[in-house]
Chains A and B, each alone.
Chain A
Amino acid sequence: MKDEYDLIVVGGGPAGSTAAKFAAEGGASVLMLEKDRDIGMPVRCGEAVGAEGLARFIEPNDKWIASKINSFRLVSPAGLSVDIEGLSDGGYVLDRRIFDYELALMAGNAGATIMTKAYVYDLVKEGDSVKGVKIKYLNEKVEFRSKIIIAADGVESRVGRWAGLKTTIKLKDMESAIQISVGNVDCKPNRLDFYLGSEVAPGGYLWVFPKGDKYANIGLGVAGNHNKSKSARKYLDNFMEKNYPEASILTTVVGGVPCAHTLPKIAADNIMLAGDAAHMVNPVSGGGIVSGMQGGRLAGTRAAEAIRAGDYSYKFLTKYEKQWHKLLGKSYERMYKIKSAVGKLTDDDLNRTAEIISSLPQSKRTLGRVFKTALMKHPKLLFDVVRAFASV
């Protein structure tokens, strides 16, 4: 195995695999390092994505599509359900174990070398310049050198810190989340259910996403400042006891979702950040799969261009920051404002909205109409919210 590559990608999630693929296709020699023994495992995710966004990267395949989505249900704090059907731009609930594997395979087939069980614990530096990574692999310490590093190391985002970028996230912007895969639950095959309210998930929401017959991905996120007084796990236990006491839980995992806007600085000399590591998550929905892939594509493509140009400086790489900002970063800043406004809605506001919407006949529940009439306090707000979900 070589000990020097054009590009090293840290992290084998959707952002890392996509970056590795595009860089390899652009002619760079690429090494992707993943600390876990298995790409895509464990799955820490609700697994919902918008179909349109995903189609730009990969042909839909039943291998990794657990269910196809064409409607939403919002459940108010008082328990009133509002269904919104016939969404034009639908989505999927993925089987991410298989999906993430598929993305890594695409990177591998494009020529990237992939190493699992490879924990990056530091950077190789000469003076202030980043020259590679130090890893622990099967109890041995090894160094790999590269011209550029793409840090796609997920929420932890330590690689960027070591390079001097500020990646720490504020408590209130971090969703503390828990997710379970459950059998023996009633769920509608083509519908995503969202439960709102301070009793269910303050500063976040609870989801029930169908994955098959009586089989669902259920989870919730609460804003970090709320998790302090009562943890995500306790909220989920309460919900399950009340709503699905007979459920059988096959997997429990926890995680964090960075619901801020993208970090202002996501590149420096010889390094770019992508995906959760750069906080490339839609701050309203918490969706980061497709946006991480978008970031990965831009970073991987720019890395290949830098290699061809022989210029790995921030001056050259900063185009990546501009491209990201134009593509999604800017709209996420707006989403962040929406998130802050939604956070101020009381349970009463949400109940009132649900009542007004449910009094409209289904045929009139087009998203625009519903939310324009319903949310007098913040017109258009919920409309934006649902749009945020539809385009995760």
Chain B
Amino acid sequence: MEIVEVQDLCKTYGTGEAKVEALKHVSFTLKKGEFAAVIGESGSGKSTLLNCVGALDEPTGGRILIDGQNLFAMGEEERTIFRRRNIGFIFQSFHLIPELNVEQNIIFPLLLDHKKPDVGQVEEILAVLGLQERRGHLPGQLSGGQQQRVAIGRALITRPKLILADEPTGNLDRKNSREVMELLTKASRQYQQTILMITHNPNLITSVDRVMQVADGILSDLGGNVNEKLS
């Protein structure tokens, strides 16, 4: 079953002299439970791609279907609600809400839907993330690695069909990076969640199912056995 379907996606910034074609006719699909990594040089268009797929940014051309639904055929409010129920985000600079504690940050997407969080599920996620002791702490009282784990918890809590991660380990050291990767891999294996992750770090793509490369706005699929090819 296809969770992500991107067809002929184009994105241009600016006009005239300042015109930048950040994405040029990008097409690809992701299956349920697939863990895909996007690599490419800085400025190649990776973040633009992720933001379009996550409906944070509007493409200039093409179509994006998430779970069969056309994102940009929806109205603004509908799209927002769709996003919070079906797409989880993890950013390089965590973007936690400073006024909410660990537990509240994790259940935030549920609270936005005015849903009562399932206690068992919250406990499970806190346990998986190793944050049970820290549940009452504010983000300012946590280390970078812990903050990113909270952000992962927040992306997992709604059991979204798709998780988008833009360099989730970019601000972390090696040990914390490995932990984050393990958590993401677990999510994709255990809960059958589709993950699209941007990374700079070639060491991190050993555990992913599929690698795609963006170069100058053009996407090419490197397939699954990319590690042998790169080495």
A, B: real partners? no
Interface residues of A (CB under 8 A from B): none
Interface residues of B (CB under 8 A from A): none
